[in-house]
A and B are shown apart, each in its own frame.
Chain A
């Protein structure tokens, strides 16, 4: 307790004139960091925090030129509202994140904004029990390739709950959950990022009631090669809005999301066991919903990595708008395939799949279709149309819009359970 007292004194002595106590209403040990505090004072509070401590930032904008880091579990960081307490890293000179949290314990953050970090705004590595509520991450200059990569970036974490957050302007992904497990992402607004939300190499995720708009791509479920957690699965994407994600791709060159065609609602890349239902897709220039294998991206050099997607159940979604402006390398590949149809078309159907089937999961004697338990199934999507692109192009197999092979169901996936959700 002695350490808390010392830091509190420091923060109080150095703080602004606000008479409001940022710690007001906080049960348990709380360290106030008032407007006007230096980055060293904020960092000292984070260093001296122990499990159970709340670090409460006051109302105002904090101009930090260095990154912040937290390495102890059980800490809560709070502000006075995500438009009232702003940690601004616009003048940041060192550090690859705004706030880096490295702990195997829990971490909570609420009612605060992190803006204009040089790299990621908030990166959380290895946590068990992450709760973000009303956190805003934003690059305030709008979409630019010099913006940092991720707004909210938990990686190799478990029991993750991200809700009611806003993520804007990330040059990779607004909310990106990598190599994690048991994740709920709900009720967030993601706008003007390259990707709005991405679950990457993550086991058991529920992504629901999010609003993904004006990104390059709305919601992505990816499996990528060369990582410690591989071939992840079980993702539910439901009751989200994926609308007008037509911001031109502004990812720095060399990034995997740079492949996402401008105007993509949902993209599943080498994803397994995905249920997509009750969503609204509207006005996506390239495609409302696409499923692809990694073979379209490149050669992964990872013998344990499964490049093929499988087991999708897409039902009861609303698809509107017409995708007539496919762009980017993958959009070009889609158009190349569609050009093989009779008659050929440049209008991309609502749901498309590259048609590359895992040979170990293909029907006996029919390498172009999955065994029933691994199939891509759809039901009740209104008048949504479909194409199996039968990639690669140039061979005897032409794209097919016949929905019959995909008229099937899978058992619903169980809800993800995260303590405290």
Chain B
């Protein structure tokens, strides 16, 4: 189902013959993270997993899901949080939880062979690590090579994948593993700050994978999270995009928050556009409503405004979400395919918006 077109690590090995970078995970059992050294060449060196192929992790890793995930070409994602022994995160109302030095956020991307039947197997593609080093957050990706381990892919990779989609049709993708600099495109801010995106209280406020206790409550109970408001009912919560009992507005704003606001926020890479898709952005021009494009190039698509209330086909947001061309599509990175369900949700929301653009 999968073949690797190119992998930087392979290219380097073939061309350079250079020796492995040296990392020094502390010896012992359980996860070992070298906070000051370079990234290890192999994922297994960190001992985060007991079996990479089976995606079995060390018990110290906390598995979690997000209320609404970032769309990544229909990849399946597994997420874990590793906090060093005795360390805990501190609650933040809006920003990501304040995670201590030594934290590792682990995310595996895979493609199910048949999205209708998870038991039919999967192709493991990559596991991304975001390590909170002494000097700040630092990210890299490890690409699975079929050997049961994954190798550091500093320059990224392209991995062709095929699968049976939800509707039974065959689907394929040249999935792109980002290069190390591209981490910053989503995870970075203009003052060179890099940080996590997913572990915000509102995104985590849900049951653990496979059901069970609330993730925030579980973290608190295990001493891994402090400072949370006492009343769980007061915790913010991103409305899942598929929660049909919720309003279109809440579902759509949650989707935009997760899929767009990592760049489109007042400190993010797309701050220069003047559009803020954070859940906290008011429903005004700052959300793109009746806002003209500035530097969109072909991304404007002949349309005058980012969002025209009641008129999704007149809205640049829909035009760009529906495109797969490199200079038109949004998000710029991490998406080659159209997220049909996401486009439909935002269409429905725009249709529901009152008013008109002058």
Contact = CB atoms under 8 A, between A and B. Distances in A.
B291 A96 contact: no
B11 A102 contact: no
A71 interface: yes
Contacts of B16: 6, 9-10, 13-14
A44 B291 CA distance: 38
Contacts of A148: 297-298, 327
A139 B6 CA distance: 28
Contacts of A301: 284-285, 289-291, 357-358
B274 A226 contact: yes
A94 B326 contact: yes
Interface in A189-206: 200
A55 B15 CA distance: 19
Interface stretch (B28-36, B208-216, B299-307, B341-349): B299-307
Output the residue of B18, B19, B181, B289 with the most chain A CB within 10 A.
B181
Counting contact residues on chain B (CB < 8 A from A), the size range is 35 or more
A322 B40 CA distance: 68
A40 B9 CA distance: 10
A103 B15 CA distance: 30
A119 B295 CA distance: 11
Nearest to A41: B11
A47 interface: yes
Interface stretch (B127-135, B238-246, B265-273): B265-273
Contact of B6 (A40, A145, A153): A40
Given A150-B295, A252-B300, A255-B293, A156 B179 contact: no
Nearest to A176: B295
Contact of A44 (B155, B269, B300, B336): B155
A146 interface: yes
The SS class assigned to the B binding surface is loop
Interface string A154-186: 011000000000000001100010110000000
Interface residues of A, number: 64
A420 interface: no
Given A13-B17, A104-B192, A153 B8 contact: no
Contact of A228 (B179, B185, B266, B316): B266
B188 A119 contact: no
Interface string A111-136: 00000001110000110000000000
B298 A252 contact: yes
Interface string B276-317: 000000001110011111111110111110000000000010
Contacts of A95: 326, 332
A126 B188 CA distance: 12
A3 B37 CA distance: 12
Nearest to B272: A155
B11 A40 contact: yes
Given A118-B327, A125-B272, A225-B292, A9 B301 contact: no
Interface string A1-23: 00100100110011000000000
B301 to A, nearest CB: 6
B269 A119 contact: no
A119 B327 contact: yes
Contacts of A224: 292, 294
A94 B176 CA distance: 9
A300 B358 CA distance: 9
Contacts of B286: 226
Given A104-B191, A118-B327, A254 B303 contact: yes
Contacts of A252: 297-298, 300-302
B297 A119 contact: yes
B181 A43 contact: yes
Contacts of B17: 9, 13
Given A66-B156, A96-B326, A176-B295, 11 more contacts: A6-B16, A14-B16, A40-B11, A47-B179, A47-B181, A93-B174, A102-B269, A149-B297, A253-B300, A256-B292, A301-B284
Q: Which 10 A-B pairs have the closest CB atoms?
A: A149-B297, A254-B300, A253-B302, A119-B327, A10-B16, A69-B181, A40-B155, A14-B15, A126-B190, A299-B358
Interface of A: 3, 6, 9-10, 13-14, 38, 40-41, 43-44, 46-48, 66-67, 69-71, 73, 92-96, 100, 102-105, 118-120, 125-126, 145-146, 148-150, 153, 155-156, 171-172, 176, 178-179, 200, 224-228, 252-256, 298-302
